[in-house]
Amino acid sequence: MGLAALGAAVPPANAGSARAQDAGASAGSAAGSTTESGREAQDGTGARALIETLSARLLAAPSATAVLEAWCAERGLSPDPRIVAVRVPGPDKPAGAARRERLAVGPDEPVRYRRVRLTCGSHVLSEADNWYVPSRLTPDMNAALDATQAPFGHVVRPLGPSRRNRSLTMLWRPETGGLPGPGEPLFSVEAVLTAGGVPFCEVTETYTGAVLIQGER
């Protein structure tokens, strides 16, 4: 299973990675097995195996939130393996012309921005930037995204969304020596969420070394 950019040339830093669609093709077997994810990340090789298992599951699933909750329970990261989306304050990031094109909206259509840290217990597993089209969600969904710590995946679950992966980029390399710290970026995923073939959100997710922690199970 490789770690690479999807549908684009891989930058020099990622030249050793296979295409991410190969990862998606092998994800079914990875998702159904706990062999790799049960290994301790005692060295770079063990950490790499865990990263590849998690990234394959993310590429194959319609909901990153559901994958993280299952991972949290499997790794024993918290007695309550729920994912909580903690808002990160800061200025809005405009969607930009290219992102608006991917979302199939015109220059005047409102696109909202939401940045969160996805946590399981005390562990920050990822940071996510969401650009979403509020007119394609229900009023209750928009209210939940504005006022609660519910993860985006939980809020939009009634839409039955699908994920179209755009890229998976490895940010940490085992050859650098040592193990990544819990706050160190491991890899990032870019995806577009659709419902009934209509895009309604683009997300950039950066996963951290906290996903490698082995708690009590």
Distance of CA 119 to the CA centre of its chain: 12
**Average pLDDT value for the chain:** 84
DSSP letter at 6 equals S
Give the model's confidence band at 137: pLDDT under 50 very low, under 70 low, under 90 confident, else very high. Answer: very high
How many other C-beta atoms can be found within 10 angstroms of the C-beta atom of residue 117? 15
* Structural domain includes residue 30: yes
Q: 144-190: per-residue pLDDT in tens?
A: 999 999 999 999 999 999 999 999 999 998 877 778 999 999 999 99
* Structural domain includes residue 181: yes
Q: State pTM to two decimals.
A: 0.81
Sheet strand arrangement including 83-87: 83-87, 112-120, 123-132, 198-208, 185-195, 162-170
Give the model's confidence band at 41: pLDDT under 50 very low, under 70 low, under 90 confident, else very high. Answer: low
- Asked which of 32-36, 131-135, 141-145, 199-203 is least confident by mean pLDDT, the reply is 32-36
Give the model's confidence band at 40: pLDDT under 50 very low, under 70 low, under 90 confident, else very high. Answer: low
d(CA 82, CA 151): 10
pLDDT given for residue 217 in this prediction? 58
* Structural domain includes residue 160: yes
Using an 8 Å Cβ cutoff, are 30 and 53 in contact?
yes
* Structural domain includes residue 1: no
- Asked which of 23-27, 59-63, 111-115, 172-176 is least confident by mean pLDDT, the reply is 23-27
Give the model's confidence band at 204: pLDDT under 50 very low, under 70 low, under 90 confident, else very high. Answer: very high
d(CA 192, CA 133): 12
Quote the number of domains for the chain.
1
pLDDT at 111 > cutoff 80 = yes
Closest CA to 60 of 89, 4, 7, 20: 20
Give the model's confidence band at 11: pLDDT under 50 very low, under 70 low, under 90 confident, else very high. Answer: very low
* Structural domain includes residue 186: yes
Give the model's confidence band at 42: pLDDT under 50 very low, under 70 low, under 90 confident, else very high. Answer: low
* Structural domain includes residue 37: yes
Q: Find the domain containing 107 and state its range.
A: 17-212
Helix (H) or strand (E) holding 94: none
Q: 48-106: per-residue pLDDT in tens?
A: 999 999 999 999 999 999 999 999 999 999 999 999 999 999 899 999 999 999 999 99
pLDDT at 5 > cutoff 80 = no
pLDDT given for residue 44 in this prediction? 76
CA within 13 Å, CB half, 38: 6
* Structural domain includes residue 9: no
* Structural domain includes residue 134: yes
| CATH number, position 197 | 3.40.1410.10
